[in-house]
A and B are shown apart, each in its own frame.
Chain A
């Protein structure tokens, strides 16, 4: 029976990774709410990027990590294989020893209205950023990518079966006890039916769920399914109360507007388009938490005005800072910032230009390399991102330590070299005009070196910079902007495009967000998969090979080989790795960039 199932792993990689790609965009789009986008590994941010806590620009507060993340854990690293039996009993979270100010209400800005507040029935970034504080998953993933117990106290993996011991004494916000039945119900009736990503990945792989007792859940799979533990956080698999939802249509249950969860904060009130008010859950299962009396999530659609509201003291926390505003925010002594390497909308995102390889003008590698060498990618970092990120050095983001390859031989910015390559490829130029074909395979002689460039409206600046830079070497770029929904239709369904830019988020493992871009089986109608239509059986085979290996060094070696092929084939151009900046009042500490960003936050009066 197992053989006949499609490999869930691959699909997971494709679908989830794709999600990562889009979340960022959705969040950046004016008042996005774009249905769609949520992440695999982490969480919340409605707008910009976040997760791994890489650098703090202001001193004491952010370094005081919240108890959950500070606690060392013996949980396996995310990339570790799960095929071998492994038992994990990470330490129970303990309250910090130092006195932490209690009380107060944190006002946070979110950029889109959630509409409804049930995170299990949707992948919408707007819904998740608003509702995750009220819910929990079985397992959480901390800022360093480690698995941390949440509703599950410990877990065992044995030949493809996952057994979770649930935490004792957890109560729903209405006082009912949380049991294994809630987990079984949520997976069977909600997540694998209505949560698009979990449905498409876990839903296909799962064989059955057993509940031998109220505090034990066993997931059985058709065949070993390694990414499972990373899909159990509040973003991918929030657990709903069965006693509220059973027997109803979960997509229209009135509780979606007055949610009952297990999370650190309880629902108080919601005014659509305006604000969502939450109060502290006094009987939260993590002792001592939360410190705050409540959290108010205000919908502020305009990014510059989020910054102004923060400066004026109307809000205490914003998810992202506009590039031009960043220096001012950083100079403000009463504000702190937290730069995050990984995007919640997908961690480890790389702004990537795709070539539609089905088009004859991109058939010659020299043309693609000429485009790469015509681009001064540092300008993208400086002028569009205002330094929030770094120039990409290869196909796999630097945030995946074992996948990242140093010193790849990727050709650098060199206009003269680009011009020579184009000449060699048959694109001749007279004067300062647009180049025309003279002996280019598959292209009529005399036709101009002109192509269309498609982007989301929020990424229009990338197009402008590319148009300007490529104009220098005689390439004419026609820009086009489209909202995410029609964009996906044009690129992945109809394949009616020449080049585009997509924020491909790699996730925490190349299986999640890298493989989908190069695997020849992932060309086709799935959104944010292999956009260039790169067909290299060897590379596809190598990815397959890497996915079955347990040993990280072995995988790293394979990924290095893959990347060497890719930087020489250049099916894509990897422009810049992007990061995000969270900003908040410097009197607040313990704020993280994860889904439960305010779980351990506390603010001095």
Chain B
């Protein structure tokens, strides 16, 4: 673990990704201290362009966009954390067990995976937001519990491929138990793929949130990047700062996560 970290620190893009991710996390945590204004305070003239007073300008109602973006980091982080955790845990466990377990278990798990996978996620998010009311936590849980199938399938496919490989065959020939083979030999090989996929999942979660915001179904009591970006669509030609800053934040976060994921793949697998 420690050696991964030190190798990561020497990995140029990995370091950038790590710093970026940490930056987003700290902004989210320190939001109330960092933000010059409360997110819902009407402090600026409507649709003011970025200026010394309001670095990111203001929206049509007169909210300070900088403060909204800083506070938005919180709910976006929360969303990312919940979704990633659920996806990683469920996806890896299901994929490993299905890929290396007994045939009936594989069939069963793949059926469950398939059922979850084919329920259109965005449709579901829409349906739930529209009918039960919008809510960030609800959306995060929903996305977490429905986004894992792809990862599970990838992990399963990799596991199957790896199971046939020389070193695994060797390990089994040497008398390693199935569980030991799983955790010691296969899991480390699957983790990089999982991390590479995680950037995608988080990006998708933030984008689903944006899409929901675009369709006017976002949680009105919280500020989030996705929602800010979604609501800004109407103003695309009038106030460039409204879509650009929240969008840049989403891109920055996703980019950092991806660089980090790629670097982790490098340092863990291709040691």
Contacts and interface: CB of A to CB of B under 8 A. Distances in A.
The main secondary structure of chain A at its interface with chain B is helix
Contacts of B216: 29-30, 457-458, 460, 481
Contacts of B105: none
B83 interface: no
Interface string A440-473: 0000000000000000011011011101110100
A383 B48 CA distance: 12
Interface stretch (A42-50, A320-328, A339-347, A591-599): A320-328
Contacts of B233: 304
Contacts of A29: 216
Interface residues of B, number: 26
A299 to B, nearest CB: 17
B236 A304 contact: yes
A544 interface: no
A383 B234 contact: no
A479 B46 contact: no
A486 B60 contact: no
Contacts of B131: 483, 486
Interface string B217-244: 1101100000000000111111100000
A107 B133 CA distance: 37
Contact of A469 (B42, B235, B236): B42
A471 to B, nearest CB: 6
A478 interface: yes
B61 A461 contact: yes
A482 B40 CA distance: 21
B238 A468 contact: no
A464 B237 contact: no
B77 interface: no
Contacts of A30: 215-216
Contact of B40 (A322, A328, A460, A464): A464
Contact of A467 (B40, B217, B239): B40
Contact of A482 (B133, B234, B237): B133
Interface string B31-51: 000000010111000100000
Contacts of A480: 133-134, 220
Nearest to A456: B216
Interface string A468-503: 110100000011111100100000000000000000
A383 B238 contact: no
Given A29-B216, A463-B220, A480-B133, A468 B63 contact: yes
Given A324-B235, A383-B60, A383-B61, A479 B221 contact: yes
A95 to B, nearest CB: 42
B60 A328 contact: no
A468 B235 contact: no
Which 3 interchain pairs have the tightest Cβ spacing? A479-B220, A457-B216, A324-B238
Interface of B: 38, 40-42, 46, 60-63, 130-131, 133-134, 215-218, 220-221, 233-239
Interface of A: 29-30, 303-304, 322-325, 328, 379, 382-384, 457-458, 460-461, 463-465, 467-469, 471, 478-483, 486
Given A379-B42, A461-B60, A465-B61, 9 more contacts: A324-B235, A324-B239, A325-B238, A460-B218, A464-B61, A468-B40, A468-B62, A468-B63, A479-B220
